[in-house]
């Protein structure tokens, strides 16, 4: 048969690879600074953009979407062309995809530093960026499917299936979770409120881990691991089972992030059951990866690329075993809100994602530059430094998480809580220090890699268009044995797209719909009222400063939490919370019942310098809130947006809102004055205090009323 | 301490759980049957796609 000549595009691969390294370093350094702020709060420099609440989203977004994102694209652009024996569909689309994604990253970093955030973890980016992401994702999709449709290999290798499922699912997750009502060029409110917002958010959040950090990277594993070991994957049959079982089950597991919260019980149980089921396909995948190296362990000893991959796959196995464990209610009762979760995700991020990325870069860069890796020895050094970094990072945090949870739950014989919240924090400071040393080691390894790769690149030259040849796809496709329905799907990528979409959509819908249907059944608590305009403004400051990165607003129904914080949280309390602010980590205490706990002046002084009110506090200072002015120009638009979302402000309220805002602000101002604090009524701190004093009091009032009527 | 069931009025919520499990299970069984019955030569061919010799470099 006539063979055709064509060229693989290596330039786009190179660009994505460089971006991977660059953003990886940025994201990891941001992470390092965040880690240092745990024991050195002054490292926030009393500067809004570098405080924990803003920097942490920069870190998570940079690592997930910039570092791992670019790594996935580099790997897909490299492997897809070779698996399809075709150049990427369109050079122009490749370019738009690459530059579009980098622009999104820059815009994301700038807006997050400036405090523009939706307040929903891992989906913090505001609406214009959400739209840009959708567009670039579509460009990527067209480019990928174009390549698949014009391929010269009749079969789709399993890695491509993972890429397709990734594309479809991420598109769906991103769109569903990003429904929001804009009220200014850079700000919006989440479409959903309270319990529903939480459910959608964690359905998204969990599946972002599944379909952004796992499935595409498994695709990379199924391509690069056999390539690096120079032998086919251990069991191709297993890989098919791995694929279908994984995408089908993953989509259901989201509610395990909300155990013991005000989320309905059945949804919690569903999340747990499916999480346990996930062990099977995940371990199938891990074993498939490891067994690929059966009888080739001597190679692993010599080849740093394989070393990275072995540890990566092992970490994948560890975190996918731990994940289901953490979904068991009794384990979750201890782990949730502590550093245990942070340790867990870093096994995944540093071990699995990071090490696959490094292994892939060490293997791929020399090949697209037509040369050899500059130094295997340095790469091996990087491997050991990185591995030590992971261990030093994770172990102290597991310990910290467990210790702190135990301290939270301890009572004295008289039935009093044994430890103040802050005591449980200062107790684990040494673990925080060790963790940051681990992080430092890990980034240092990356710098060793940069040196090694720069030397490698200098010793070769980019083969921008790599010549290849292959026969075109025959009109009539030969068959091996009998045709089966699965083969029919697998040969037809468009069907494949449709079927995987149907699968994940069914999972998603079945999980979400009931909660929406029963909207009316979330018991409305008569005493829960919409926020006043000033409180609403204050709530937006709370979101802007990222207080949710350290504070939860969700008291779980445990003896210790009720004793420490107050009455446990009810679903009906959050019906006006667009977005919900339950949080996922308690570096500071829960704030669900903070309203009325302290006088206004306490908050004023605490926000100015937390250590004056709570000696030894690691909460950052917020001195700028004393000077910055509330953006009252936006009040009417905010009220109208809330009205659109169904919050029952009276008609025309948007025009009266600012007058009421100032009246309430003046009261707080006078109140502060009694305690000898001078402030402008329209200072941001005033709005924040108004909000803090409101959180959780609606229901307190109701209980007092009930008690009174009982008497 | 347990939450009161907020979904009391939506009877039969468990049908979602049951239905989806059946769906998954059926799909899984069919897929597994295919996987084990599939022709060995096909499977070998598939697993060797990354190594095709017209690849310019291995």
Confidence of residue B33 (pLDDT cuts 50, 70, 90): confident
| Chain A with chain B: Cβ pairs closer than 8 A | 133
pLDDT number for residue B5: 38
Q: For residues A113-138, give the mean pLDDT.
A: 95
Beta bridge partners, A470, equal: A4
Question: CB–CB of A244 and B6 under 8 A?
Answer: no
Confidence of residue A264 (pLDDT cuts 50, 70, 90): low
pLDDT number for residue A409: 96
| CA distance linking residue A630 with residue A619, whole number of Å | 23
pLDDT number for residue B20: 64
| CA distance linking residue A383 with residue A200, whole number of Å | 38
| CA distance linking residue A590 with residue A553, whole number of Å | 5
Mean pLDDT check: name the lowest of A36-40, A468-472, A616-620, A622-626.
Answer: A468-472
Q: Any idea where the domains of chain A sit in the sequence?
A: 1-124, 293-471, 533-710
Provide Rg for chain B, Cα atoms.
23
* Residue A82 preceded by cis peptide, ω within 30: no
Q: How many CB atoms lie within 10 A of CB A422?
A: 17
Question: CB–CB of A153 and B52 under 8 A?
Answer: yes
Question: CB–CB of A157 and B9 under 8 A?
Answer: no
Are the C-beta atoms of residues A147 and A6 closer than 8 Å to each other?
A: no
The torsion angle over the Cα atoms of residues A684, A688, A690 and A694, rounded to 10 degrees, is 160
Return the residue matching tokens 């009222």.
Answer: A529
Chain B residue with Cα closest to A479: B42
pLDDT number for residue B18: 65
Are the C-beta atoms of residues A191 and A179 closer than 8 Å to each other?
A: yes
Read off the pLDDT of residues A166-216 as tens digits, 9 standing for 90 and up.
998 898 888 888 888 999 999 999 988 888 888 888 888 888 888 999 999
Confidence of residue A523 (pLDDT cuts 50, 70, 90): low
Question: CB–CB of B39 and A482 under 8 A?
Answer: yes
| CA distance linking residue A157 with residue A84, whole number of Å | 9
Which residues on chain A are in Cβ contact (under 8 Å) with B5?
264-265
Query: How many angstroms separate the CA of residue A281 from the nearest CA in chain B?
Result: 12
pLDDT at A704 over 70: no
Are the C-beta atoms of residues A145 and A492 closer than 8 Å to each other?
A: no
| CA distance linking residue A441 with residue A447, whole number of Å | 10
| CA distance linking residue B58 with residue B50, whole number of Å | 9
| SS3 of residue A190 by DSSP | strand
Q: Which of A471, A481, A518 sits opposite B39 (nearest CB)?
A: A481
Q: CA neighbours within 13 Å on the CB side: how many for A171?
A: 19
Read off the pLDDT of residues A46-105 as tens digits, 9 standing for 90 and up.
999 999 999 999 999 999 999 999 999 999 999 999 999 999 999 999 999 999 999 999
| CA distance linking residue A90 with residue A10, whole number of Å | 13
Quick one: how far is CA B58 from the chain centroid?
32
Report DSSP state, residue A337: B
Are the C-beta atoms of residues A658 and A629 closer than 8 Å to each other?
A: no
Which tokens go with A702?
């109701």
Question: CB–CB of A481 and B38 under 8 A?
Answer: yes
pLDDT at B3 over 90: no
Query: How many angstroms separate the CA of residue A382 from the nearest CA in chain B?
Result: 25
pLDDT at A700 over 70: yes
Query: How many angstroms separate the CA of residue B6 from the nearest CA in chain A?
Result: 6
Instruction: Name the average pLDDT for chain A.
Output: 91
pLDDT at A548 over 90: yes
Query: How many angstroms separate the CA of residue B22 from the nearest CA in chain A?
Result: 12
pLDDT at A495 over 60: yes
The more confidently predicted of residues A417 and A270 is: A417
Confidence of residue A384 (pLDDT cuts 50, 70, 90): very high
pLDDT number for residue B55: 42
Which of A255-264, A320-329, A601-610 holds the top average pLDDT? A601-610
* Reported pTM: 0.92
Q: For residues A677-692, give the mean pLDDT.
A: 97
pLDDT at A490 over 70: no
Which residues on chain A are in Cβ contact (under 8 Å) with B23?
506
Question: CB–CB of B6 and A522 under 8 A?
Answer: yes
Which tokens go with A610?
């937390």
pLDDT number for residue A115: 96
Chain A residue with Cα closest to B51: A227
Q: Which long-range contacts link A408-416 to residues 24+ away (Cβ below 8 Å)? A: A408/A560, A408/A561, A408/A564, A409/A334, A409/A558, A409/A560, A410/A560, A411/A559, A411/A560, A411/A563
Question: CB–CB of A521 and B19 under 8 A?
Answer: no
pLDDT number for residue A551: 98
pLDDT at A503 over 90: no
pLDDT at B4 over 50: no
Q: Which of A83, A506, A507 sits opposite B49 (nearest CB)?
A: A83
Q: For residues A381-400, give the mean pLDDT.
A: 98
Q: Does domain A293-471 have CATH number 3.40.50.2000?
A: no
pLDDT number for residue B6: 39
Nearest by Cα to A23 from A78, A80, A70: A70
The more confidently predicted of residues B39 and A8 is: A8
pLDDT number for residue A247: 79
Report DSSP state, residue A333: H
Mean pLDDT check: name the lowest of A216-220, A265-269, A574-578.
Answer: A265-269
Say what the ipTM of the complex is: 0.76
pLDDT number for residue B26: 80
Q: For residues A207-226, give the mean pLDDT.
A: 93
Strands (DSSP E) found in A131-229 = 180-184, 187-190
Read off the pLDDT of residues A630-679 as tens digits, 9 standing for 90 and up.
999 999 999 999 999 989 999 999 999 999 999 999 999 999 999 999 99
Strand A180-184 with A187-190, pairing: antiparallel
Query: How many angstroms separate the CA of residue A499 from the nearest CA in chain B?
Result: 12
Ramachandran area for residue A9 (φ above 0: left; ψ -120 to 50: alpha; else beta): beta
pLDDT at A553 over 50: yes
Same fold, A293-471 and A533-710: no
Query: How many angstroms separate the CA of residue B53 from the nearest CA in chain A?
Result: 9
| Mutation target vs A (from B11, B24, B36; most A CBs, 10 A cutoff) | B24
pLDDT at A486 over 70: no
Read off the pLDDT of residues A353-371 as tens digits, 9 standing for 90 and up.
999 999 999 999 999 999 9
End-to-end distance of chain B based on CA atoms, in angstroms?
Answer: 61
Q: Does domain A533-710 have CATH number 1.10.3720.10?
A: no
Q: Which of A223, A273, A514 sits opposite B16 (nearest CB)?
A: A514
Q: Which of B7, B31, B36 sits opposite A264 (nearest CB)?
A: B7
Asked if B11 has any chain A CB less than 8 Å from its own CB, the reply is no
Are the C-beta atoms of residues A217 and A356 closer than 8 Å to each other?
A: yes
Question: CB–CB of B6 and A506 under 8 A?
Answer: no
Give the rounded percent of residues in chain A with a pLDDT score beyond 90: 74
Read off the pLDDT of residues A441-451 as tens digits, 9 standing for 90 and up.
999 999 999 99
pLDDT number for residue A513: 62
Beta bridge partners, A9, equal: A465
pLDDT number for residue A8: 97
Asked if B53 has any chain A CB less than 8 Å from its own CB, the reply is no
| CA distance linking residue A595 with residue A689, whole number of Å | 9
DSSP calls for A195-209: HHHHHHHHHHHHHHH
| CA distance linking residue A702 with residue A700, whole number of Å | 5
| CA distance linking residue B24 with residue B44, whole number of Å | 28
Question: CB–CB of B38 and A484 under 8 A?
Answer: yes
Q: Which of B24, B49, B56 sits opposite A157 (nearest CB)?
A: B49
The more confidently predicted of residues A252 and A519 is: A252
């Amino acid at each position: 048969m006539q063979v055709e000549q064509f060229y693989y595009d290596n330039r786009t691969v190179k660009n994505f690879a460089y971006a991977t390294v660059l953003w990886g370093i940025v994201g990891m350094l941001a992470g390092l600074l965040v880690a240092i702020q745990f024991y050195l709060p002054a490292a926030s420099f009393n500067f809004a953009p570098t405080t924990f609440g803003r920097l942490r989203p920069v870190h998570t977004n940079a690592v997930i979407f910039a570092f791992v994102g670019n790594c996935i694209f580099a790997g897909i652009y490299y492997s897809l062309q070779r698996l399809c024996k075709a150049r990427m569909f369109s050079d122009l689309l490749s370019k738009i995809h690459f530059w579009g994604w980098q622009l999104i990253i820059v815009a994301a970093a700038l807006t997050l530093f400036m405090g523009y955030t939706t307040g929903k973890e891992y989906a913090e980016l505001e609406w214009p960026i959400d739209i840009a992401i959708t567009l670039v994702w579509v460009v990527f999709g067209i480019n990928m499917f174009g390549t698949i449709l014009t391929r010269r290999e009749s079969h789709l290798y399993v890695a491509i299936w993972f890429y397709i499922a990734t594309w479809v699912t991420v598109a769906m997750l991103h769109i569903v979770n990003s429904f929001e009502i804009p009220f200014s060029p850079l700000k919006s409110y989440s479409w959903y409120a309270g319990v529903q917002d939480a459910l959608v958010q964690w359905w998204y959040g969990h599946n972002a881990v599944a379909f952004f950090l796992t499935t595409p990277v498994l695709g990379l594993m199924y391509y690069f691991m056999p390539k690096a070991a120079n032998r086919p994957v251990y069991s191709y049959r297993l890989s098919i089972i791995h694929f279908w079982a994984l995408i089908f089950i993953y989509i259901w597991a989201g509610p395990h992030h909300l155990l013991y919260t005000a989320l309905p019980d059945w949804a919690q149980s569903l999340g747990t059951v499916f999480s346990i089921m996930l062990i099977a396909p995940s371990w199938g995948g891990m074993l498939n990866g490891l067994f690929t190296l059966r009888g080739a362990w001597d190679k692993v000893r010599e080849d740093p690329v394989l070393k990275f991959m072995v540890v990566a796959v092992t970490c994948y196995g560890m975190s996918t075993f731990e994940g289901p464990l953490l979904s068991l209610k009794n384990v979750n009762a201890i782990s949730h809100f502590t550093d245990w979760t942070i340790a867990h995700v870093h096994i995944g991020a540093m071990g699995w994602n990071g090490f696959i990325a490094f292994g892939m870069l060490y293997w791929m860069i020399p090949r697209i530059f037509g040369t050899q890796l500059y130094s295997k020895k340095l790469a091996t050094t990087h491997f050991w430094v990185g591995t030590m970094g992971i261990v030093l990072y994770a172990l102290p945090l597991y310990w910290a998480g467990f210790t702190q949870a135990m301290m939270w739950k301890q009572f004295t014989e008289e039935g009093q809580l044994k430890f103040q919240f802050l005591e449980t924090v200062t107790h684990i400071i040494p673990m925080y220090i060790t963790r940051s040393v681990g992080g430092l080691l890990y980034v240092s390894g990356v710098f060793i890699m940069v040196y090694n790769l720069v030397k490698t690149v200098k010793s070769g030259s980019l083969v921008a268009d790599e010549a290849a040849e292959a026969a075109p796809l025959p009109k009539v496709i030969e068959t091996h044995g009998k045709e089966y329905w699965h083969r029919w799907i697998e040969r037809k990528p468009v069907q494949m797209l449709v079927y995987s979409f149907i699968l994940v959509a069914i999972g998603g819908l079945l999980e979400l719909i009931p909660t929406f249907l029963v909207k009316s059944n979330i018991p409305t608590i008569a005493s829960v009222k919409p926020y006043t305009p000033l409180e609403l403004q204050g709530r937006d400051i709370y979101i802007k400063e990222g207080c949710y990165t350290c504070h939860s607003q969700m008291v779980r129904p445990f003896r210790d939490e009720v004793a420490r914080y107050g009455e446990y949280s009810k679903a009906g309390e959050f019906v006006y919370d667009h977005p919900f602010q339950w949080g996922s980590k308690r570096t500071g205490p829960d704030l669900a019942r903070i309203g009325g706990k302290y006088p206004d002046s306490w908050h004023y002084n605490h926000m100015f310098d937390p250590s004056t009110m709570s000696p030894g506090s690691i909460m950052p200072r917020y001195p700028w809130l004393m000077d910055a002015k509330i953006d009252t120009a936006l009040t009417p638009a905010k009220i109208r947006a809330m009205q659109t979302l169904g919050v029952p402000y009276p008609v025309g309220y948007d025009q009266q809102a600012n007058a009421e805002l100032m009246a309430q602000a003046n009261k707080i101002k006078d109140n502060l004055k009694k305690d000898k604090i001078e402030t402008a009524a329209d200072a941001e701190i005033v709005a924040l205090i108004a909000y803090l004093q409101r959180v959780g009091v609606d229901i307190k009032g109701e209980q007092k009323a009930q008690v009174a009527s009982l008497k | 301490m347990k939450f009161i069931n907020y979904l009391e009025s939506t009877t039969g919520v468990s049908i979602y759980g049951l239905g989806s499990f059946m769906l998954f299970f059926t799909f899984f069984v069919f897929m597994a049957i295919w996987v084990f019955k599939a022709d060995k030569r096909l499977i070998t061919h598939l697993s060797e796609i990354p190594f095709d010799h017209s690849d310019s470099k291995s």
